[in-house]
Amino acid sequence: MYRSVKEERMEKQLKGIVRTVIWAGVLLLVGSVLFAMILSDATDRAAAYQLHARTEEYSSRLYEQIDSDYQIMDTFASIIGSSGITDREDFPELLDQANYENDFLTMTYMDVSGDLVAAVLDQEVTQNNIQGIQEEARAVLQEAIEGRRGISRFFRGDLTKEDIIVYGTPVYQEERVVGALAASGRIDIFREILEEGAALEGSGFVDMIDMDGNYMTRSGNDNISAELTNVFSAPYFAEDEAAERKAEFQEKGRLEFSFRYGGEKYRGLIEAVGIHDWCLFSVLNTRMGSREIYVMNRAAGVLFGVIFLLMLGLLAYGCRLVWRNGKRLQRIAYYDPLTGAYNMLRFRQLVEESIGRNGSHYSLIALNVHQFKFINEIYGREQGDRLLRFIKEQIRERTKPGEFFCRETADIFYLYTTETDRDVLEKRLTELMDGITGKAAGIRGDYQLLMCCGAAIASEGETAQTLDETMTHVMLALTRAKDVHQNNVWFFDRELHRSEIMGNYVEAHMHQALEEREFQLYLQPKVDLASQKVAAAEALVRWIRPDGLMIYPDQFIPLFEANGFCVQLDMYMVDAVCRKLREWMDQGLEPFPISVNQSKRAFYETDYLARLTEIAEKYQVPPELITLEILEGFTFENVDEVNRKIEELQKKGFRVSLDDFGSEYSSMNTLGKIRINELKLDRWFLKDAAKGKENVRVIMEQVIQLAHKLNISTVVEGVETLQDHDLIRKLHCDFGQGYYYRRPISEEEFYDIYLKEK
Ligand code: C2E
Ligand code: MG
Ligand code: MG
C-alpha cells in the first residue's frame, strides 16, 4: 500500500528514538568498559600491594625464626664461655642435655684446635675432629672460630638423616674466641612458617627458591607447582620469556610477574631474602586477593548489564508503543470503524497520490445500496452493519492491484481503478453488484436487495479534470443510477455533462430569472380517495426560459439548496400560491388547500414563520390553506427542534407535511416522534408494491396504519395507473397524487379544469 506523509513522519520519530537509545547504549557500554578497566587496574594494584606486604611479612618471619635460633645459641655460648665447663669431663653429657632442652636436632662444640663434641638427639654423644664432619657444618664452624656468626645452606645431615640447616656462633672467653658452637635445625620449620596463617588466607602461597629458581622448600598451600622443580617455567612464565625474566631477576634480586592458571588471574613476586641465595616466591590470586574490589567489579558489571538490558527492553517497549499508537491513530484517522475500509479522507489522499503518479488515467465509482435505511429500519441496525461489512468484503475480494476503495457515509462506497474501458468496467461492476445482491441471503432475509453504481472515467473529460470535478460527476451519475430500480451502472456521460452545463446556466441566471418572473407556478391535484374528487393541489415550480424552454426542478432545486437561493425561491412560491388563492377567493371560488415544497434552508431561517405569516396576511389568505412540505432529511438530525418549529407553524394555522417518506432516511421511528399533519409516501413504494413485492406492500400498509393512529393523513405519490389507484385505496390511504389523475399543470390550466365550473 501507499505510504503517507504521516506514516513517514512517524517512522522518522521512531528512528530518532532508536538512534537516541542506541547512542545511550553505546555510551553506557563505553562507560562500563572504562569503569571495568579502572576497577581491574585497581584490583591489580591492590593485589600487587598485598603481595609485597605479605612477602615482606614472610621474610621478616624467617628472620625472626633465625634470630630466635641465634639467641638460644648465643645464650648457651656465653654460658659455656664464662663457665669454662668445656674443660669438664662431663661436658659431653651437659651438651647432650642442653640439646634436649631446645628444638635443635644437633649441637656441636668445637675448640680452636678443631676438636669437637657433637650431641645428636636420641644418639650417643660423639667426639670428633672438624675434618670428620659434613662440609656445610664445617664451613659454619670455621666461620664462627673466625669470630663470625654463620648459617648454612639447606642440606641433608648424615647423622640426622633429615634436611637441615646449621647455625654457627663463636664462643668467647674474656673477649677472645675459644671455640665455636653449631646447632642444626630441621628446615621443616621454614615450611611451617610459609604455611603459617594458611598463607595468604587461601588466596595464594609462598615458596622458598634459590636465585636460579630451584625450589628449596614448598608450601603445602602451593597447588600450582607441585610437579615443578624450577619456577622459571609454565605456568609462571611462557617458555620463550622464561630465560629473559630469570636474568632480569638475577640482576635486580626481585621480579614481579602475572600469569593465568585454571582460568584465574595471579600475580607473583620473587624476592631475595638476603641470606645465601634464598628467595621468597609468592603467588596471589588477584580475585581472591582483593575480594572487595573484585565483588565491586562484578556487581558493577551486573549493574551495567541490567541497565543495558533494561534500556534494550525500554527501547523495544517504546518502539512497540509508538508503533501501536501510530497504528491506532492511523486507524482512527484513516479507517472506517465499522467496516475497516478506508475512509473518505484517506481515499482522497490515495487518489491524489495515484493521480500524481499515473495522471488522469483513472475511473471513480460510487456504489450504493437502494433504500439502505429501510434495511436498517426493518431488519435492525445490526443486520445493516453486517450487510455493509459484507459489501466491503465483496469489494475487497474483487479489487485488483493498484485499486482501492473506501466507505464514505452510510451505504456509499467509492472505488478507484485505473481501468478506463467502459465495457470492462460495466461488466466488472455488474458482476460485483450481482455477487453482493445474490449472496446477501441471510443478511437480507426475504428482502430484494438492490444496488447501483455511478461511474466517471476521468480520462474521458474534454479537459483535464480535478478530483473534485470527477467526484461531482460520479455523484451525478449515481443519482441517475438510483432512479433505475435494478442493479445498474450509470456512467457520467454527455447527457449528464449537459446537465452539468445546465447547472452552470442555472447558477448564472437564477437572480435575473426570479426578477423576470421566469419561475412559474404549476399545480398537481391531490385526489381524495374516499370521494374520488380533487381535494387539494401541490405547487411545483417550473422555470420557463425566455426562449420557451422549460427547466424542471430536479435541475435547479438541488443547486439552489446548495447555494442558498432556495430560501428566496420558496418564499417566492409561497407568495405565488397565496396570490393565486386570493385571486380565486376574490372570484368567490372555494379554494383548494395548496402544498408548497420547502427547502431545509428556508425552514431553518430564524424569521421563517414571520415571513410566512407576513405573506399570508398580505393576501389575507387563511394559513389553513397552506401546507408546507418538508423533507425527511430535516427531521433526521434534530427531532425536538423540528417539532418546536412545526408547533409554531401549526399554532399560526399552517399545516405541515412530510414529503418523500421512504426515499432516503426512512424511519418509522421519526414518524412516531414528529408532529406532522400529513405524510407523503415516496412513489417508489407504489412502484415496488405494484410490481408485486409483497414486503413493500406490507410496509406501506403498516406505515399508513401507524400514520392514522397518530392522526396523520396519508398521501401516496406516483399514482400512474388504475391499478395503482385501486391498490392505495385498498391500503386505506387518504389521498393519491400522480400522473394517473393529472400531471403538474400551469395555474391557468388548473383553473380551467378544476375551478372554472365552480
Ligand atoms: P416532490 O415534492 O416529491 O414532487 C413530486 C414530484 O413528482 C414532481 O416532480 C412531480 O412532477 C412528480 N410526479 C407527480 N406525479 C408523478 C407520477 O405519477 N409519476 C412520476 N414519475 N412523477 C410524478 P417535479 O415537479 O419535477 O419536482 C421534483 C421535486 O422538486 C419535488 O418533489 C420537490 O421536492 C422539488 N420541488 C418542486 N418545486 C419546488 C419548490 O417550489 N420549492 C422547493 N424547495 N422544491 C421544489
Ligand atoms: Mg413535494
Ligand atoms: Mg414528493
Q: What phi, psi does 725 have (nearest 5°)?
A: -60, -45
Half-sphere exposure of residue 135: CA atoms within 13 angstroms, side-chain side: 4
Q: Hey, how many other C-beta atoms are within 10 angstroms of the C-beta on 308?
A: 15
Interval 389-425: pLDDT, tens? 999 999 999 999 989 999 988 889 999 999 989 999 9
Map residue 103 onto helix, strand or coil. coil
CA 456 to ligand 3 center in whole angstroms: 28
CA 457 to ligand 2 center in whole angstroms: 34
pLDDT at site 4: 55
Closest ligand 1 atom, CA of 720? 18
Query: Mean pLDDT for each consecutive 10-residue tract of the chain (758 residues)?
Result: 59 78 83 82 81 86 87 87 81 86 87 86 81 86 89 85 89 88 86 69 82 86 82 89 91 90 88 88 78 74 84 83 79 87 92 86 91 80 89 93 90 92 93 86 66 87 70 88 86 77 86 95 97 96 92 90 93 97 95 95 93 97 97 77 94 96 73 92 92 90 94 97 96 97 96 87
Query: Of the candidates 289, 244, 248, 245, which has an alpha carbon nearest to the alpha carbon of residue 266?
Result: 289
pLDDT at site 5: 59
pLDDT at site 92: 87
Domain 344-492 CATH class label: alpha beta
Of 717, 719, 728, the residue with max ligand 1 atoms within 8 A of its CB, to mutate for a pocket test, comes to: 717
Q: Is the CB of 271 under 6 A from ligand 1?
A: no
CA 702 to ligand 1 center in whole angstroms: 25
CA 528 to ligand 3 center in whole angstroms: 17
Ligand 3 (single-atom ion) residues, CB below 5 Å: 659-660, 717
Half-sphere exposure of residue 438: CA atoms within 13 angstroms, side-chain side: 7
Q: Is the CB of 659 under 6 A from ligand 1?
A: yes
pLDDT at site 195: 79
Query: Of the candidates 505, 321, 341, which has an alpha carbon nearest to the alpha carbon of residue 413?
Result: 341
Considering only CA atoms, which residue is closest to atom 7 of ligand 1?
718
Residue labelled with grid coordinates 461531482: 472
Interval 620-669: pLDDT, tens? 999 999 999 998 777 667 888 899 999 999 999 999 999 999 876 556 77
Angle, CA of 708, 709 and 711, to the nearest 5°: 60
Exposure string for 170-187, b = 16+ CB within 10 A, e = fewer: bbbeeeebbbbbbbbbbb
Of 484, 524, 540, the residue with max ligand 1 atoms within 8 A of its CB, to mutate for a pocket test, comes to: 540
Q: Is the CB of 219 under 6 A from ligand 1?
A: no
Q: Is the CB of 690 under 6 A from ligand 1?
A: no
CA 669 to ligand 1 center in whole angstroms: 25
Distance CA(667)–CA(673), nearest Å, equals 10
Q: How far, in whole angstroms, is CA 124 from its chain's centroid? A: 98
Ligand nearest to the CA of 627: 2
Exposure string for 360-394, b = 16+ CB within 10 A, e = fewer: bebbbbbbbbbbbbbbbbbbeeebbebbbbbbbeb
- The fold of 516-755 is TIM Barrel (3.20.20)
Distance CA(151)–CA(249), nearest Å, equals 24
Domain positions in the chain are 84-186, 344-492, 516-755
DSSP category for residue 214: B
Closest ligand 1 atom, CA of 631? 34
Q: Is the CB of 366 under 6 A from ligand 1?
A: no
CA 672 to ligand 1 center in whole angstroms: 25
Q: Which residues pair with 736 in a beta bridge?
A: 527, 716
Q: Is the CB of 573 under 6 A from ligand 1?
A: yes
pLDDT at site 86: 80
Q: Is the CB of 602 under 6 A from ligand 1?
A: no
Closest ligand 1 atom, CA of 561? 44
pLDDT at site 27: 87
Exposure string for 35-57, b = 16+ CB within 10 A, e = fewer: eeeebeeebbebbbebbbebbee
pLDDT at site 2: 45
Closest ligand 1 atom, CA of 740? 18
Tell me the pLDDT of the chain averaged across its residues.
Answer: 87
Distance CA(555)–CA(270), nearest Å, equals 113
The superfamily CATH assigns to domain 84-186 is PAS domain (3.30.450.20)
CA 755 to ligand 1 center in whole angstroms: 22
Distance CA(705)–CA(731), nearest Å, equals 9
CA 602 to ligand 2 center in whole angstroms: 15
Ligand nearest to the CA of 680: 3
Ligand nearest to the CA of 681: 3
Map residue 544 onto helix, strand or coil. strand
pLDDT at site 450: 87
Considering only CA atoms, which residue is closest to atom 15 of ligand 1?
738
CA 540 to ligand 1 center in whole angstroms: 6
CA 700 to ligand 1 center in whole angstroms: 20
Q: What phi, psi does 265 have (nearest 5°)?
A: -100, 135
Q: Is the CB of 660 under 6 A from ligand 1?
A: yes
Of 483, 514, 557, the residue with max ligand 1 atoms within 8 A of its CB, to mutate for a pocket test, comes to: 557
Q: Is the CB of 744 under 6 A from ligand 1?
A: yes
Distance CA(297)–CA(294), nearest Å, equals 5
pLDDT at site 446: 64
Ligand nearest to the CA of 595: 2
